[in-house]
Structure 1
Amino acid sequence: MSTLTDRYVWAAVRSIPEKQRGELEPELRGLIADTTDAQREKGVSDADIERATLLELGDPVRLAAGYTERPLQLIGPRYYLDWLRLLKLLLVIVVPIAALGAALGRLLSGGDVGDVFGALFVTAIGVAVHLSFWVTLVFALVERGGVQRIKTPGDGPLLEWTPDSLPQLPAPAARRQSLVELILGLVFLAVFAGWFVWQQFNSFLTDADGTPIPVLEPALWSGWMYWFLGLIVLEGVFAVWVYQRGRMTMGLATLNLFMNIAFTVPAVWLLLTGQLINQEFLDAIPDTDADFDTAMSYALPVIAFIVIGVAVWDVIDGYIKAWRSRNVSDTAGE
């Protein structure tokens, strides 16, 4: 079980270049040991001494930046970390909600593929720009206006740092397992994306001229196919991102929720409205009598149910992993 000290050192060294970590870690542990001795001389009990030591040292990212002489600027050293964390949080939560809401609204209002894409990208870019501008402006005004903090009128951060916010240490065994999951996931996504392209030019059914008949409706290449391929690429980037962080978080699980919605909703809608499967492909299947048509009428809702079920399970699994990571982190801090 990891200690708060281990998690503190990990949080500090992961924010600097890897080649400097070997030098910084022993220095940090030495500083923590010296500070612990000072806390013990002050009469702090052994049960509270580790937390008191880390509270005195403060934010590990800020401490690491001081050791490596890495400036925390743009807004300014006092507010930089507060600005960066708040902006990241807002971009991850607000931008996907606003963009998907605009796209869904345009889709339900009868807009075509171009309208949906336009609403999605314009809203996402507009919201991201506005968030970045207004958050930056507020922090700049606070710093330059000499606004005093409510809790700590000195140079401490706006968002008070505590050891409870330390990240969980990545377990080596779990790391190896997540690497296997990452590789398998990326291989699956590559095969899935490759099939989208492959089926357009290869099929076991051909027309009278011997031209392969695609399984998916060729008209999808006017817009929706690029949407799905883009989401597959985004899913791959997301998987790598989660692996690099070493764990799933509630914010990442929520982002995974929106990506599943962005893929599943249009896919199911296209399937049930007859716009996903190429009708020419169905007509070319031998012995397409009334029984086959009846079977297809039952099969399509079943396929839609399976697609929705897979998406729901992926979302639930993401939140379970995030909850377990947080639970392990809380336990390690006890």
Structure 2
Amino acid sequence: MTSTLTERYIAAVTKSLNPAAQDDVRTELEASIADAVDARLEQGRTQEDAERTVLTELGDPAALAAGFADRPLHLIGPRYYLTWWRLLKLLLIIVPVSVTGAVALGQAIAGATIGEIIGSAIGIGLSVAMHIAFWVTLVFAVLERTGADTGVRWNVDQLPEPQVKEAPRAELIASLTYLVIVTGAVLWDHFRGFFPTGGEHIPILNPELWPWWIAGLFVLLAAESALAIAVYGHKRWNRGFAIFNTALAVLFVSWWLTLLGRGQLINSDFVEFAFTGAVDENVLRILAVLTGFTAVGIAVWDIIDGWRKARRAALQA
């Protein structure tokens, strides 16, 4: 009989509803479907064609039932989405990076190989990121279905401040001042020394780095100066400057870690003087690891800062 499709459709809609609401929904659907079918019959459609068209337009019975039951068919809706997304981004930026760095540092101090350090740090970092994504999403999915209030309210005080354009002159002065200080410190360390020893001065950096390794360092510092001057002349950062800054940061950290790994960065006479002759190899290794991680951290921050400035300049343009 021609009503079979309609009966099957209504049964599919009402089966998941509260029994107390099933009769009302069934009555409402029967009336609305019948009216829609009659309207198409008046247009010259056949009974079967009209019925199929009306039921197809009503859509999936499960979706229609969810509408009647006021059940969300999304994991996180607009009420909670922005809060969920902002919190998730913040946690994914801070927690996995911090955990990865801490694991890598701990493995390095424990004397693990490079492969073990990278494998452990990446594995645990990814695991932490997945746990954060899962549990934060689960919490907000529960909030969505229970209708709980997060207490988060938007107000006009949360409007972002107008972005201030970069100050190329101030940035140039700061960069050149820093580079002059570093250059002066290297020269002073070599020719005068920083620590009173009661006799001949003892440089901190290994004297054997002169002239070629130190020359390489001065070339990198000169390139940094040229970059600062170029940014000042261009009045803003761009992608090319960010790429050049990234290359300089990678070269600097490579210079530092190469010498540190070979044990050639710090003057051995200074180490013996600082530790009054009792040099503990484990202490030296831990200090080397901490120094290396500090150099990498500075380089990573410099790279991120360069790309951030380039992106901001592009948006302002």
Shorter-chain TM range is: 0.3 to 0.5
TM-score normalised over the length of structure 1? 0.44
- The structure showing larger relative contact order (alpha-carbon pairs under 8 Å, at least 6 residues apart) is 1
Q: TM-score, normalised by structure 2?
A: 0.46
- The structure with the larger Rg is 2
